[in-house]
């Protein structure tokens, strides 16, 4: 099992600013099996990015993913008010799928 550590815990930014969220794995991620989810209060998570950098269906292009090995990044290029949420990374592998502890993005 791969342990994922997300940073920062909370990010407080203004609309229009760029958000950079980090996800560090304890072991190298194989097959680029790294995803990002967005979760708003009272809602289930929503898949944003899979296979490190592929956007899921219907996800705006202001969301992008990058990285390799053990270090990965979710970037929101221009924050919109509706981007206020908790973001989780996930490493999905054979028979398991660990999540990071989450980064909360707050809009000022």
Partner 1 sequence: EVQLVQSGAELKKPGESLKISCKTSGHIFTSYWIGWVRQMPGKGLEWMGIIYPGDSDTRYSASFQGHVTISADKASSTVYLQWSSLEASDTAMYFCARHRRPIYGTGDPFDVWGRGTEVIVSS
Residues found near partner 1 in the complex (CB under 8 A)? 1, 31, 33, 35, 37, 39, 43-47, 50, 56-57, 86, 88, 90, 92-102
CA dist., res. 74 & res. 8, Å (int): 12
CA dist., res. 7 & res. 76, Å (int): 15
* Nearer CB in complex with partner 1: 6/79: 6
- Rounded to a whole number of angstroms, the minimum distance from the CB of residue 99 to partner 1 is 4
* Nearer CB in complex with partner 1: 14/95: 95
- Rounded to a whole number of angstroms, the minimum distance from the CB of residue 58 to partner 1 is 11
Q: Which residues pair with 99 in a beta bridge?
A: 90
* Nearer CB in complex with partner 1: 70/98: 98
Q: Which two tokens stand for residue 59?
A: 């996800």
- The beta-strand segments (E) located in the chain are 4-7, 10-13, 19-25, 34-39, 46-50, 54-55, 63-68, 71-76, 85-93, 96-99, 103-107
- Rounded to a whole number of angstroms, the minimum distance from the CB of residue 29 to partner 1 is 11
- Rounded to a whole number of angstroms, the minimum distance from the CB of residue 95 to partner 1 is 4
């Amino acid at each position: 099992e791969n342990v994922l550590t997300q940073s920062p815990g909370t990010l407080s930014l203004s609309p229009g600013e760029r958000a950079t969220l980090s996800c560090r794995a304890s072991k190298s991620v194989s097959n680029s099996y790294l995803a990002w989810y967005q979760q708003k209060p009272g809602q289930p998570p929503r898949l944003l990015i899979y296979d490190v950098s592929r956007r899921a269906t219907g996800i705006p292009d202001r969301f992008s993913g990058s990285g390799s090995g053990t270090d990965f990044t979710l970037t929101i290029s221009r924050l919109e008010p509706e981007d206020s949420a908790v973001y989780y990374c996930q490493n999905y592998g054979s028979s398991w799928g660990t999540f990071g502890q989450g980064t909360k993005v707050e809009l000022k």
